[in-house]
């Protein structure tokens, strides 16, 4: 019996709602309308746009070049013609430059039959520097949501060693099951991706953290692992939010707390999401730059919750339509998971590299909570996985004392939402912290 692990303090247990879509296999979506590809789909500086209106471009062609170390390339998801360059608002409310591409008709017709498994890829012949270079060129970023450029994580600084490679298959956000489906359906491919990472990092241990509510995925991985003899440690984890966070996952698997301000590599760890690993597989075996991902479209207000394999640049409205549209009055549409995702105003926003899900929630889930005085009940203190004092921080921010709030560890807050989730007084704690961080940085 394998020991089920978890991170120590804090955390919450929201209802999972995973059953809505976790039995739906991944379906490829072909969209024939105009693709809107933002230049900022990652953490860091927006990419520099390389095309202008009227240009004919090819699928996987570089259209945005990384502007700096923490930045990522952007490629065209389709073959077609640039018909516009404009500013759009992203699902998270930020404004970004975007390229509007009218896809070629023949290309769209052939898209669903595309098969190009480049099985002659030989891992042994590739030095690891070139592998990292290729990952960088393909614009691969962390697809768990934070969209941190993958090549930066994989470039281990001099004097440091990667001892632990941790593959993140936790998917602790309720509702989402894109990673779950990927682990079930593309397990072989993920393991091929892991072999590539093994070659790059040469770690002592490889662990795959999966929460216990995905028993089928755990079983699948244990089988493949035994078959292929990769020597991974498949680690079942107790279901607890926010286990998918890098710091909590390192704590759960390695038993070490990442010091404040340090990077995982300081403890010898590199953490990558399963969908990122799959994107790396896709790059080397299928020659694909990162232009597509699996998106869960779910919620209690959607007719047929589904998992779609879709290109970036497709508007949310198309995915919602393909999932059967709404069955109930929609109160909120959320991009990402319900705990950290963003409520969107406009469904014309496009899918980006970081969009893991679209949730359509009715009023039975989006409850109105009336804000009252803080009861000093201490639930937020015991829920905070970072061991901060949310109620106290909020009081400081509320009275404009950003300096003292920063000293109490405001910057260690990662806005996971556990405090707001448990707060019986419905105090908008996370909102306060977002404001406090912005004001405190000034």
Partner 1 sequence: MEKKSSESLEKYPVIEVSPHLKATSTTFTIMWAVSISLIPAALWGVISFGWYSLVVLLASIISAVAAEGLVNWGTKRLTIHDGSAFLTGLLIGFNMPPEIPIYIPVIGSFFAILVVKAAFGGLGSNWMNPALAGRVFVFFSFNQMGGSCWKKPRFLPEMVDSISSATPLSVVKSQGAECGINSFEFLKQMGYSHSAFDAKLTDFFNSSFGLTLPNGYFDAFVGNIPGCIGEVSALLLILGGIFLLAKKIITWHIPVAYIVSFLLFSWIFGGLQTGSGYFSGDAFFHLFTGGVILAAFYMATDMATSPVYPKGLIIYGVLLGFFTFFIRVFGSFPEGASLAILFMNMFVPMINKLTKSKPFGYVKTKKEAK
**Rounded distance, CA 146 to CA 56, Å?**
32
Which positions from 366 through 385 interact with partner 1, judged by CB under 8 A?
366-367, 369-370, 372-378, 381-382, 385
User: Is position 426 an interface residue for partner 1 (rule: CB under 8 A)?
Assistant: yes
Q: Hunting for tokens 């990092």 — which residue is that?
A: 201
User: Is position 332 an interface residue for partner 1 (rule: CB under 8 A)?
Assistant: yes
Which positions from 206 through 265 interact with partner 1, judged by CB under 8 A?
247, 251, 256-262
- Please answer whether residues 413 and 340 qualify as being in contact, where contact means their C-beta atoms are separated by less than 8 angstroms: no
**Rounded distance, CA 131 to CA 128, Å?**
5
Task: Give 404 or 409: the residue with its C-beta nearer to partner 1.
Answer: 409
- Please answer whether residues 314 and 297 qualify as being in contact, where contact means their C-beta atoms are separated by less than 8 angstroms: no
Query: Is residue 115 packed enough to be buried (19+ CB in 10 Å), middle (13-18) or exposed (0-12)?
Result: exposed
Length of the chain: 442
User: Is position 346 an interface residue for partner 1 (rule: CB under 8 A)?
Assistant: yes
Q: Among residues 110, 118, 364, 431, which is the contact residue for partner 1, using CB under 8 A?
A: 431
Number of residues that bind partner 1 (CB under 8 A): 67
- Please answer whether residues 154 and 162 qualify as being in contact, where contact means their C-beta atoms are separated by less than 8 angstroms: no
User: Is position 288 an interface residue for partner 1 (rule: CB under 8 A)?
Assistant: no
Q: How far is the CB of 369 from partner 1 (least distance, A)?
A: 6
User: Is position 347 an interface residue for partner 1 (rule: CB under 8 A)?
Assistant: yes
User: Is position 325 an interface residue for partner 1 (rule: CB under 8 A)?
Assistant: no
**Rounded distance, CA 20 to CA 324, Å?**
14
- Please answer whether residues 268 and 164 qualify as being in contact, where contact means their C-beta atoms are separated by less than 8 angstroms: yes
Task: Give 83 or 230: the residue with its C-beta nearer to partner 1.
Answer: 83
Structure-token pair, residue 319: 């995915």
User: Is position 305 an interface residue for partner 1 (rule: CB under 8 A)?
Assistant: no
**Rounded distance, CA 311 to CA 295, Å?**
10
Residue 259 has a CB neighbour count (10 Å cut-off) of 10
Task: Give 244 or 341: the residue with its C-beta nearer to partner 1.
Answer: 341
Structure-token pair, residue 347: 């469904």
Which range in 95-103, 130-138, 178-186, 426-434 contacts partner 1 by CB under 8 A? 426-434
User: Is position 424 an interface residue for partner 1 (rule: CB under 8 A)?
Assistant: yes
- Please answer whether residues 288 and 60 qualify as being in contact, where contact means their C-beta atoms are separated by less than 8 angstroms: yes
Task: Give 209 or 336: the residue with its C-beta nearer to partner 1.
Answer: 336
User: Is position 334 an interface residue for partner 1 (rule: CB under 8 A)?
Assistant: yes
Distances (CA, A) of 256 to 121, 141, 248, 268: 37, 25, 9, 11
Q: Among residues 46, 305, 338, 357, which is the contact residue for partner 1, using CB under 8 A?
A: 338
Question: Backbone phi, then psi, for 53, in 5-degree steps?
Answer: -60, 135
Task: Give 228 or 434: the residue with its C-beta nearer to partner 1.
Answer: 434
Q: Among residues 99, 294, 421, 440, which is the contact residue for partner 1, using CB under 8 A?
A: 421
Task: Give 120 or 329: the residue with its C-beta nearer to partner 1.
Answer: 329
Which positions from 14 through 53 interact with partner 1, judged by CB under 8 A?
14-15
Structure-token pair, residue 106: 């023949």
Task: Please report, as ranges, the residues that interact with partner 1 according to CB under 8 A.
Answer: 9-10, 12, 14-15, 174, 247, 251, 256-262, 330-334, 338-348, 359, 361, 365-367, 369-370, 372-378, 381-382, 385-389, 409, 412, 415, 417, 420-426, 428, 430-431, 434
């Amino acid at each position: 019996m394998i020991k089920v692990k978890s991170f120590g303090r804090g955390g919450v247990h929201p209802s999972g709602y995973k059953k809505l879509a976790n039995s739906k296999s991944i379906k490829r979506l072909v969209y024939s309308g105009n693709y809107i590809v933002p230049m900022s789909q990652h953490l860091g500086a927006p990419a520099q746009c390389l095309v202008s209106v009227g240009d004919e471009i090819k699928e996987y062609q570089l259209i945005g070049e990384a502007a700096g170390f923490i930045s990522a390339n952007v490629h065209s998801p389709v073959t077609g013609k640039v018909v516009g360059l404009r500013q759009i608002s992203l699902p998270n409310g930020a404004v970004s430059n975007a390229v509007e591409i009218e896809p070629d008709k023949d290309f769209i017709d052939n898209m669903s039959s595309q098969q190009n498994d480049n099985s002659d890829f030989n891992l042994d012949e590739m030095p690891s520097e070139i592998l990292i270079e290729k990952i960088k060129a393909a614009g691969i970023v962390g697809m768990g949501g934070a969209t941190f450029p993958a090549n930066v994580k994989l470039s281990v600084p001099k004097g440091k060693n990667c001892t632990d490679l941790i593959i993140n298959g936790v998917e602790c956000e309720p509702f989402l099951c894109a990673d779950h489906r990927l682990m079930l359906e593309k397990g072989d491919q993920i393991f091929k991706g892991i072999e590539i990472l093994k070659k790059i990092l040469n770690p002592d241990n490889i662990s795959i953290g999966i929460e216990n509510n995905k028993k089928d995925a755990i079983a699948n991985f244990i089988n493949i692992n035994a078959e292929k003899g990769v020597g991974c440690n498949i680690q079942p984890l107790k279901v607890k939010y926010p286990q998918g966070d890098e710091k909590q996952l390192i704590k759960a698997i390695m038993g070490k707390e990442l010091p404040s301000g340090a990077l995982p590599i300081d403890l010898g760890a590199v953490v990558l999401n399963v969908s990122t690993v799959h994107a790396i597989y896709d790059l080397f075996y299928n020659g694909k730059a990162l232009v597509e991902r699996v998106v869960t479209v779910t919620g209690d207000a959607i007719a047929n919750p589904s998992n779609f394999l879709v290109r970036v640049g497709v508007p949310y409205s198309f995915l919602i339509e393909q999932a059967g549209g709404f069955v109930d009055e929609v109160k909120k549409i959320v991009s990402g998971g319900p705990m950290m995702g963003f409520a969107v105003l406009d469904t014309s926003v496009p899918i980006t590299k970081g969009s893991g899900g679209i949730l359509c929630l009715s009023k039975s889930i989006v409850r109105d909570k009336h804000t009252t005085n803080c009861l000093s009940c201490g639930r937020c203190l015991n829920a905070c996985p970072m061991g901060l004092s949310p109620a106290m921080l909020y009081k400081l921010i509320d009275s404009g004392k950003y300096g003292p709030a920063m000293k109490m560890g405001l910057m260690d807050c990662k806005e996971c939402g556990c405090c707001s989730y448990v707060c019986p007084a419905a105090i908008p704690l996370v909102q306060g912290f977002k404001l406090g961080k912005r004001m405190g940085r000034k």
